[in-house]
Amino acid sequence: MRYVYLLFALALLSLWFCAREPVAEPASSLWRNVYADSIHYVGMATCQSCHSNIHATFIQTGMGRSFGTAHARRSDASFGTHALVYDSLSDLYYFPYLRDSSLFIREFRLDAQGDTVHKRVEQVAYIIGSGHHTNSHLVNFNGYVYQAPITYYTQEARWDMAPGFDEFNERFGRLLTSECLTCHNDYPQLAEGSQNRYNTMPEGISCERCHGPGELHVRDKLAGIIVDTAAGPDYSIVNPRRLPRDLQMDLCQRCHLQGIALLEPGKTFYDFRPGMPLREVFNVYLPRFTNSHEKFIMASQADRLRLSNCYMQSEMSCLTCHNPHQSVQT
């Protein structure tokens, strides 16, 4: 009987060890601005004060021009009668036009006699997209931001339905959530409890999206702490080129890996910082189609690179060919 009790005790002890959750090691990095929540973002104007030459070229890049207030000079689109778009599924027409320097979209429907039976006009608040591929358009209703149903495709020089709207036209009702805007723009300030109401809206991706928050770096420089970066890294701010390749790829994959992004418990899309493993914030699940290894979603540059022979047979990363500070058009 004594052995029965002993076996029972051992079984309970084994169950206790198995049931215990592993104690997570605190996250750490050599880069001092990665995990310190007390280190804040300072904004691109602060970076410009010391790095004016880099700033001047960066604002001409796709990232620097990724988002902005809508006006005629910001738009890459052409306007005129050719810009009319018809959505046969909803039987609605869309006509973009300029009034002075502002951009508007008129939605209307015609009856069998050609008379207008419905008309709606919305002013475009923001243009999203650098114009290398597209200009899409956002409307702002009392701080709530939605996508408009038409996009200008610059490489084909044509207006058409925005991606996804050709299958289901949400008209001016597609919510622009933080998942979208934290890739297409600097971090906007999301109103508490809302999915698409923003208290502040930046204009374009800034330096700190790739280098991490700059407050510590600025503080060190103002205190006279200067690092000879020819001799080694300045750990007050992330330099992506000095990251291991897997963390370089995670930085790029934050936005250049499109799939189904599932956040870790307690995390938001604002929580990722350069130098972190992406999986600490969210995981991206990619579609794979039967008998097709070459079908990719629009923003899948990192996925395609990882499958290439160049990547698999060398230490190649995005930064091997891509200089984020220089426009591909210069």
**pLDDT for 113-134, tens place per residue?**
999 999 999 999 999 999 999 9
Q: What does the pLDDT average to over 128-153? A: 96
Of 23-37, 105-119, 306-320, highest mean pLDDT: 105-119
| pLDDT at residue 293 is higher than 80 | no
Give the pLDDT of residue 291. Answer: 62
pLDDT tens per residue across span 204-216 = 999 999 999 999 9
Q: Is the pLDDT of residue 289 over 60?
A: yes
Give the per-residue pLDDT at 329: 73
Of 284 and 161, more confident:
161
State the pLDDT at residue 292.
Answer: 59
Q: What is the DSSP letter of 254?
A: T
Distance in angstroms (rounded) separating the CA atoms of residues 13 and 22: 16
User: Band of the pLDDT at 101, cuts 50, 70, 90?
Assistant: very high
- How confident is the model at residue 28, as a pLDDT? 80
Distance CA 119, CA 106 (A): 7
Sorted by sequence, the CB contacts under 8 Å of residue 222 that are 6+ apart come out as none
Q: Is the pLDDT of residue 295 over 70?
A: no
What pLDDT, on a 0 to 100 scale, did the predictor assign at position 18?
46
Q: What percent of the chain has pLDDT over 90?
A: 80
Distance CA 52, CA 218 (A): 15
Give Cβ neighbours of residue 173 (< 8 Å, ≥ 6 apart): 146
- What amino acid occupies position 132? H
User: What pLDDT does 258 receive?
Assistant: 82
* Greatest distance between any 2 Cα atoms in the chain: 96
Question: Residue 171 pLDDT more than 90?
Answer: yes
Q: Give just the sign of the alpha carbon dihedral 70, 75, 79, 82.
A: negative
Angle, CA 183 vertex, CA 148 and CA 38 arms, to 5°: 130
CA distances to 27, 213, 218 from 41, in Å? 20, 4, 10
Classify the phi-psi angles of 164: left when phi > 0, otherwise alpha if psi is within -120 to 50, otherwise beta.
left
**Which pTM does this prediction carry?**
0.86
> Once rounded to an integer, what is the mean pLDDT over residues 7-15?
48
Interior CA angle at 87 toward 107 and 147, to 5°? 60
Q: What mean pLDDT do residues 180-191 have?
A: 95
- Residue spans of beta strands (DSSP E) within the chain: 67-69, 85-87, 92-99, 102-110, 116-123, 126-128, 134-141, 144-147, 150-153, 158-161, 174-175, 189-190, 198-200, 260-263, 282-285
330/252: higher pLDDT = 252
pLDDT exceeds cutoff 80 at 288: no
Contact 74, 129 (CB under 8 A): no
pLDDT at 207: 97
pLDDT above 80 for 23: no
- Reply yes or no on whether the pLDDT at 109 is more than 70: yes
What local confidence, expressed as pLDDT, does residue 15 receive?
45
